[in-house]
Homo-oligomer: A and B are copies of this chain.
Amino acid sequence: MSQAAEFHNLDTPVGGIPRELAPGLTTQIFPGEGAMLSIVTIAPNAAGTLHAHPEEQWGVLLDGSAVRVQGGEEIPVKKGDFWRTPGGVPHTMRAGPEGARVLDIFSPPRPEYRVAGKGFGTG
């Protein structure tokens, strides 16, 4: 297989596994062996629900603005901000009035996200 199959684009994430995390939060998921990338689009003022999972997570704010809710704190984030969420720490995002786009990285990959579906996969 050509290495070209491993190349994608954040703005046109063709070939990802689609998931609706919550109303107004959709994502395209690209699983690897060590990590899994998820390109999340959050509608203006939409928010996820607080959840936690054992896998470590990193996030990068690609566009827009948002508040990261993590470990009981609310931290405003702007384009270019990135953060680590240790495994087991409850978290969610709330987009600003222009919405937000986030690159999430799970390591190891979250098994719940290997198939198309709905929700945060945390029961």
Q: Give the B-binding residues of A (Cβ under 8 A).
A: 2-4, 6-11, 30, 32-35, 37, 55-56, 58, 60, 68, 70-73, 75, 77, 80-87, 89, 103, 105-108
**Shortest beta-carbon distance, A33 to chain B, in Å?**
5
**Shortest beta-carbon distance, A54 to chain B, in Å?**
10
Which residues from chain B contact A3 at a C-beta distance below 8 Å? Answer: 70-73, 75, 89
Which residues from chain B contact A10 at a C-beta distance below 8 Å? Answer: 60, 80-82
A35 touches which one: B8, B9, B75, B107 (CB < 8 A)?
B107
- Taking A3-B75, A35-B56 as given, write out 11 further A-B residue pairs in contact, using a Cβ cutoff of 8 Å, ordered by the A residue number: A3-B70, A6-B70, A6-B85, A8-B82, A9-B80, A9-B81, A33-B86, A34-B35, A34-B56, A35-B58, A60-B103
Which residues from chain B contact A7 at a C-beta distance below 8 Å? Answer: 68, 75, 77, 81-83
